[in-house]
Amino acid sequence: MQAIEPSRRRGLTILEVLVVLAIVAILGGLLLPIVSAPRGTSKRIACMRNLKNVGLAMRIFAQEHGTGLPMNLPANQGGTRELTGDVIQLWRHYLPFTNELTNPKILWCPSDSQRKPATRWAPDAADRRAVVFAGNQNLSYFLGLNAHETQPQTILAGDRNLTTNGLAIGPGRHVVSANTRLGFAETMHKSAGNILLADGSVQQVTSGRLNEQFQSGLTNSGLTTNVWLVP
């Protein structure tokens, strides 16, 4: 009776190994954007949530002050109108909301690597590592001085990575008009951003949509320009 030789396992050839590696590389390239996308998406959602909270705090303030926002009212009425000419004092326009915004970190966008989130409104001896909200370095959002609750489509606040006529703008007091081509730089949300409207709603917008919303706000309010304070 003839003995049956055990079968030998054949190893992969160099060509087969290369094919497997090529397939793995292709799958990795396809899956990488899917794996990395949630981080950027979650940051933008957190930014939207922050602006939503800011809008709610502002609406509560307006209801308690005859529809006026801090920048519309003088100091003796709880406002900050006297500070609207000084962009260095921009952060102070948010101080009237300390009761509604429990944590100043809300005023920081997670995609803003050039700003530092504050963790407390006031110093705390029990938490020496706390970052106290004390300046524009803790602020990611511009403020629209012409926004008003009675003009719901005007832009009240939004991500500070703005451009005008294709050029990135720095901190300052900027007058934007119907002839200004607004946009977003790549620094925070990949040439996009979030904006807060005077009615309290928050929108994710591209540069084109930002322009449309701004023009709509001008038309509805009857204004020809808006003044924005950018931190």
Domain presence at residue 222? yes
Provide the residue type at 66 as one letter. G
Mean pLDDT for the stretch of residues 158-162: 97
Residue 217 neighbours by CB distance under 10 Å: 22
Domain presence at residue 16? no
- Which phi and psi angles does 213 have, rounded to 5°? -65, -40
Does the structure show a pLDDT above 70 at 174? yes
Domain presence at residue 67? yes
Over the stretch 25-61, which tens digit does the pLDDT of each residue have? 565 555 454 444 445 678 999 999 999 999 999 999 9
Domain that holds residue 174: 38-97+140-230
Strand bridging mode 141-144 / 155-159: antiparallel
Domain presence at residue 119? no
Read off the tokens for 3.
């003995």
Grouping H, G, I as helix, E, B as strand and the rest as coil, residue 226 is strand
Domain presence at residue 82? yes
Provide the residue type at 148 as one letter. H
Domain presence at residue 84? yes
Inter-residue contact 141 to 51 (CB < 8 Å): yes
Mean pLDDT for the stretch of residues 131-137: 95
Confidence of residue 148 (pLDDT cuts 50, 70, 90): confident
Q: How many domains does the chain have?
A: 1
Grouping H, G, I as helix, E, B as strand and the rest as coil, residue 168 is strand
What local confidence, expressed as pLDDT, does residue 2 receive? Answer: 54
From residue 121, alpha-carbon distances to 87, 94, 107, 124, 208 in Å are 20, 11, 11, 9, 36
Inter-residue contact 140 to 109 (CB < 8 Å): yes
What local confidence, expressed as pLDDT, does residue 11 receive? Answer: 59
User: What span, in angstroms and rounded, lies between the C-alpha atoms of 81 and 208?
Assistant: 31
Domain presence at residue 105? no
According to DSSP, residue 69 is labeled -
What local confidence, expressed as pLDDT, does residue 88 receive? Answer: 95
Domain presence at residue 200? yes
